[in-house]
Amino acid sequence: MRALLLLAVLALAVAPRAAAEFFEGRVVAVFDGDTIEVLVGHERRRVRLSGIDTPERGQPWAEKARQALSRRVFDKEVRVNDVGTDRFGRTVGEVYADNVCVGCELVREGNAWVYRKYSDDPVLFQLEAEARAAQRGLWSLPEAQRVPPWEWRHPGSGNTPPDRKGFTCTGKRLCGEMTSCAEARFHLEQCGLQELDGDGDGVPCASLCR
C-alpha cells in the first residue's frame, strides 16, 4: 500500500514538469540541417535541434543535411522536448517525428556532427563513430572538407578543453595516426572514436597510453 501511495505521489510531482517541457506542432519550415519552424496552435516557434551541429551554408554537405532534415520532419507533426533557449532566442529541443529521435538519425546517417560544446551524450558519440567508420554522409567527403561547423563559423576559437587545444575531430581514425596519448584520449573521449579502445577498458591505443 505504501509503495502504491509513493508511486502516486511521485507521479503527481513529475507530471506538471513533464507537461511543461514538451510541446507538439507541425513543421512549416526547414531553414538548414538543424533548425526548423514549428506551428504550435497559432504560434510559430523556431527550434534548434539540441546536441547536434550540421554544415553551414557554403560548407560541403550543407544542402544535403538540410534535405535530410526536411525529409524527416517537413509538414509532419513533431514532439519537441524543450531543453532551453539559445542566444538567438530559438528554442533548443530534442525533436521526435514518427516516434523517432530526429537528431540521432541525422548523426547516424552522417548528416550531422555531435555538437561537442553542448552534448556529452554517449549514444550520439557512438552513432557518429559508426557513421564515420562506415563513411556515411559527410564522412564520405575528402578529409579537408570535413571541417566541424563550429570551427567553420569561428576559426581558431576552439570548443575543446584548454589542455586539448590544437586537436580536432577531423580525419584521424587509427592509433598509428596519433602522435601522443593525449591526442588518442581526445579522439576517444571528445570525438567518440571507440575503435581506438579495442579491448573496451577505457584506455585508447595501448602502445601510446601504457
Q: For the CA atoms of 139, 141, 145, 148, what is the dihedral angle to 10 degrees?
A: -10
153 labelled catalytic: no
Q: Which residues pair with 43 in a beta bridge?
A: 40
Q: How many residues would you count in the chain?
A: 210
Q: Is 56 a catalytic residue?
A: yes
Is the separation of the CB atoms in 207 and 175 below 8 Å? Answer: yes
**Cell 570551427 appears where?**
151
Catalytic residue among 56, 130, 151, 195: 56
- Catalytic residue, from 45, 90, 136, 164: name it: 90
Residue 48 among the catalytic residues: yes
Whole-angstrom distance, CA of residue 150 vs CA of residue 156: 10
Could you give the 3-state DSSP secondary structure of residue 171?
coil
Q: Provide the grid cell at 83.
A: 531543453
Exposed/middle/buried for 31, CB within 10 Å: 0-12, 13-18, 19+? middle
Active site residues: 48, 56, 90
